Amino acid sequence: MSHLLSRAFSLDDVARIAQRKLPRSIYDFYSGGAENEITMDANRRAFEELALVPRILRGVQPNTQQVILGTASSLPLVIAPMGAVGYGCRDGDVALAKAAASAGIPYVLSTTATTSIERVAEEAGGNLWFQLYTLRRREVTMRLLERAKAAGYGVLVVTADVPVGGKRERDLRNDFSMPFRFTARNMAVFASRPSWALGMLIRGIPTMPNLTEMAGHDSLPVDAAASVGREFDPTFDWEGLKEIRKRWPGKLLLKGLLHPDDAVAAADAGCDGVIVSNHGGRQLDGAVATMRALPGICDMVAHRIEVLLDGGVRRGGDVAKAVALGATAVLVGRPALYGACIAGEAGVEHVLKILNDELVRVMTLCGLSDMASLNRELISRT
């Protein structure tokens, strides 16, 4: 384990170490939200508003295993899809996938990953899911689907909350863009992290190999990054989702919904589950926090499909709260990425160990033996 991580006792500690290691513009790209970042902050506050009501003298030895979409997982936890990971950690997508496989949990590869669908499958293996952005060129979207199927990904995660990119003002202030570019404003920032800058100079700026087709066969892969934001399809609708359902033989999740009626529509369209998500507060600022939306969605559809939660999970107690309110599992993104940026695969493993240890401790203190014992009796609103 990195000597830096030896003093990281929480996921907030991991984030602070990553902030010291990365150029400000890169850290801000990962950590920031849309506009005033109200929704990003609300995701955390929603957990803090929930108190645990423990039971005593239960003599428990907690079992954290959970079945997610028919497959056993060591934890009710999934590593979330994240784009442009390679800007902070070269080969970071593989490091995340390998750590997830070692921990016995699923990993979701993003369409905008800096490692190809095929390479992650070949080098990491494990319980791989693929997150699909729907693009204006429907044939490109469908070919991404076919590539994931051919590479052995078992679950397709269709992201529905990006008909247009969010306004992320930290990136605008930092001159951060894709394709990545050096400007007078950000050169001094990069120079303050010489090991990071040297890596970029020697190995080049990471590209998005899953999107080279968007740039045309005669263009450089990096050109794809410039067009991906403009290529999100705002006309994609429920009929389009049904077409994907016909083309995808495995499990299908719809990510990025907050309204119970949309969860019902997803079930009607043939989805196996939904992910309650506001994109980590990076899209619509002012949107409801995911933990506030979770109970109503579970009340509507948990008897039909699985419900997962994304956004704001920073403690093992947060995992317990989400499962108690009806989630099958939660997704964790930024903390795992920060671990990768600090120490690669070992850094991600450290993050997962923190969450595992905290979850076991919370379950022991609350008298909970397994995931089935987590229910709404555990929760009190402060």
Where does residue 270 fall: left (phi above 0), alpha (psi -120 to 50 degrees), or beta otherwise? left
Identify whether 259 is a catalytic site residue. Answer: no
H-assigned helices in 104-237: 117-123, 138-151, 169-173, 184-191, 194-203, 212-215, 222-231
Among residues of the chain, what percentage have pLDDT more than 70?
93
Where does residue 152 fall: left (phi above 0), alpha (psi -120 to 50 degrees), or beta otherwise? left
CA–CA separation, 83 and 101 (whole Å): 19
The packing angle between helices 316-324 and 290-301, to 10°, is 30
User: Could you tell me the pLDDT band of residue 231, with boundaries at 50, 70 and 90?
Assistant: confident
pLDDT computed for residue 205 by the predictor: 83
Pick the catalytic residue: 3, 279, 303, 350? 279
H or E stretch including 363? Answer: helix 334-366
Q: 253 — phi, psi (to 5°)? A: -120, 145
Q: Position of tokens 């045309």?
A: 216
pLDDT digits (tens, 9 = 90+) for 351-364: 999 999 999 999 99
CA–CA separation, 25 and 53 (whole Å): 41
**Considering all CA atoms of the chain, what is the largest pairwise distance in Å, rounded to the nearest integer?**
68
Superfamily, domain 5-381: Aldolase class I (3.20.20.70)
pLDDT beyond 80 at 47: yes
pLDDT beyond 80 at 179: no
Give whole-number Cα distances, 291 to 239, 261, 284, 286, 352, in Å. 28, 17, 16, 14, 21
pLDDT beyond 90 at 246: yes
Q: How far is CA 285 from the centre of its chain?
A: 18
Contact between residue 69 and residue 305 where contact means Cβ atoms under 8 Å apart: no
Query: pTM for this one?
Result: 0.94
Nearest to 145 by CA among 214, 238, 274, 244: 244
CA–CA separation, 326 and 297 (whole Å): 9
pLDDT beyond 80 at 150: yes
pLDDT digits (tens, 9 = 90+) for 100-136: 999 999 999 999 999 999 999 999 999 999 999 999 9
pLDDT beyond 80 at 192: no
Q: What is the mean pLDDT of residues 356-379?
A: 98
pLDDT computed for residue 227 by the predictor: 44
Q: Domain-by-domain residue ranges, the chain? A: 5-381
- Average pLDDT for the chain: 92
The two structure tokens encoding residue 311: 């956004």
The dihedral over CA atoms of 72, 78, 79, 80, expressed in degrees to the nearest 10, equals 140
pLDDT digits (tens, 9 = 90+) for 281-328: 999 999 999 999 999 999 999 999 999 999 999 999 999 999 999 999
